[in-house]
Amino acid sequence: MTGGTQLTFHCPTCGESMAVNAPMREALLNHGCVVCGTPVPQSAFSAPEPNGDTEC
Amino acid sequence: MTVEQQTVMTGAETDALLGRHETGVLSLARGDEPYAVPISYGYDAGTRQFCMRLVSTPGSQKRRFLTDAPLVRFVVYEETEAAYCSVIADGRLERLPKSELTADHVKRYGTAKRPLFEMWGEPKAELTIDLYELDPEELSGRRIEVD
């Protein structure tokens, strides 16, 4: 993934979690969760945990 | 049914049929054991590639047949009063690692109808959803005009 990791995405519907950059965030908001297909709310994005551990 | 004429669909006609449908039948095999399942899909007419979300549960029959890159046949068909049309795609189904997802992938999968989670008794969190892409080695469409 290019564009730099800036946020953690956590789908409230399917539970999928992954690190995302700005283009990915925009795409997920516009097209829904890539894994389960349900709409994604703004609240699905958060700053990465301090230890930086994220599951892709 | 009286068969009037059978014709090969053009690329544009094939793309149009795939674009106006959302589901098809995916066929896999292990040895001489067949497995076919209806699934939803997205189709990019520009690249002539399919994207699919395949849902399975631990120990499910589908998971037994889904390796990382199985050879598959995918069929989409429609029937109207005037014609019966079908499209067949043959190729290798490639699993897309979630760690390799890009914004373009998200956009493509956005065109695919979401899986019908309601079919499963398990909560969504207990289902495994894998992303696959199919770049067909062969893609053909046929139309049979009927009387």
Residues of A in contact with B125 (CB under 8 A): 14-15
A residues 1-56 lying closer than 8 A (beta carbon) to B: 1-2, 13-16, 18, 23-24, 26-28, 30-32, 34-38, 56
Structure tokens at B121: 């008794």
* Strands, sheet with A7-10, edge to edge from the N-terminal-most edge strand: A17-20, A7-10, A45-46
pLDDT at B126: 72
pLDDT digits (tens, 9 = 90+) for A8-24: 999 998 888 999 999 99
Q: Which of A20, A28, A30, A34 to mutate to test the interface with B (most CBs of B within 10 A)?
A: A34
Alpha helices in B77-142 (DSSP H): 103-109
Is residue B50 within 8 A of residue B134, CB to CB? The reply is yes
Nearest Cα of chain A lies from the Cα of B109 at a distance, in angstroms, of: 6
pLDDT digits (tens, 9 = 90+) for B1-21: 555 678 999 999 999 999 999
Q: In 3D, which of B62, B69, B56, B65 has the Cα closest to residue B134?
A: B69
Range of the domain at B7: 3-146
Does ipTM surpass 0.85 in this model? no
Q: Is B129 on the interface with A (CB under 8 A)?
A: yes
pLDDT at B66: 83
Q: Is B20 on the interface with A (CB under 8 A)?
A: no
Does B112 have pLDDT greater than 50? yes
CB contact under 8 A, A31 and B107: yes
pLDDT over 70 for what percent of chain B? 89
Distance CA B126, CA B119 (A): 13
* Structural domains counted in chain B: 1
CATH number, position B86: 2.30.110.10
Q: Mean pLDDT, to the nearest integer, of B126-133?
A: 87
Q: In 3D, which of B143, B22, B24 has the Cα closest to residue B82?
A: B143
